[in-house]
Amino acid sequence: MSLDFESDAGFAGVKDSDVQRLADMVLSQITAEDRIAALSDEMEGVQADLKNLSEVGLPALMDEIGLESMIMRDGSRLVVKKGIKANISKERQPEAFGWLRARGHDSLIKNVVTAKFGKGEEGDAQLLLDYCVEKGLVHDRKESIPWNTLAAFVKEQIADGVDIPFELFGVFETKVAKITRPKL
């Protein structure tokens, strides 16, 4: 890549050596940005490979062999840990939230209320807030349950023997291979 900073500079009295130093630094930055982009792409690929190995390949092979854990010759320990995850789909949210509310678990549901205003509309924003507080009105409301809160709730309910509707809460079992390496 070549850059013509002399014609772009437009300044009388700019030394050629300064323009060259500037061009060299610009090219160095472009090279660094390109390297970061390439390394980010490579890292995403490696992370996908690791996820596939730890969540699919190793657990499946351990099941096939009939092992839950194994110690390698170098002292590394492989353990397949079981877990529970849950994910309420958008379509099932009203039903799932209703189920939670009917059983006194509405504190799991997080609420976000928002209204958007443009630049210079701070006064209008304050007026709306004051009005909403006065009238008990809500402009925009989003309800959600953080994934980790939902998973912990589901695990707790299962441990307590509560008959929880797995399909409604998108409950599924996970298996993840964990490798612990010996300290040197």
Tell me what pLDDT residue 12 has. 59
Computed from CA positions of residues 134, 139, 142, 143, in that sequence, does the dihedral angle turn out positive or negative? positive
- The pTM of the full predicted model, rounded to 2 decimals, is 0.60
Quote the distance between the C-alpha of residue 92 and its chain's center.
22
Tell me what pLDDT residue 1 has. 58
Name every residue whose Cβ is closer than 8 Å to that of residue 168 and which is 6 or more positions away in sequence. Answer: 88, 92, 95, 96, 99
Tell me what pLDDT residue 33 has. 97
Q: pLDDT truncated to tens, each residue of the chain (184 aa)?
A: 565 555 555 555 778 888 999 999 999 999 999 999 999 999 999 999 999 999 999 999 999 999 999 999 999 999 999 999 999 999 999 999 999 999 999 899 998 877 788 888 889 888 888 888 888 876 677 888 988 999 999 999 999 999 999 999 999 999 999 999 998 7
- Residue 28 included in any domain: yes
- Residue 98 included in any domain: no
Q: Residue 24: give the domain boundaries.
A: 1-67
Quote the distance between the C-alpha of residue 41 and its chain's center.
17
The conformation of residue 181, written as its DSSP 8-state character, comes to: P
Which residue is associated with the tokens 């709730």? 153
- Residue 83 included in any domain: no
Tell me what pLDDT residue 138 has. 66
Tell me what pLDDT residue 10 has. 56
- Residue 32 included in any domain: yes
Residue 179, strand partner residues:
78
Tell me what pLDDT residue 6 has. 52
Domain count, the chain: 1
- Residue 153 included in any domain: no
- Residue 3 included in any domain: yes
Residue 132 CB neighbour total at 10 angstroms: 14
- Residue 43 included in any domain: yes
Tell me what pLDDT residue 15 has. 85
- Residue 168 included in any domain: no
Tell me what pLDDT residue 29 has. 97
The conformation of residue 56, written as its DSSP 8-state character, comes to: I
The residue among 47, 76, 54 whose CA lies nearest residue 177 is 54
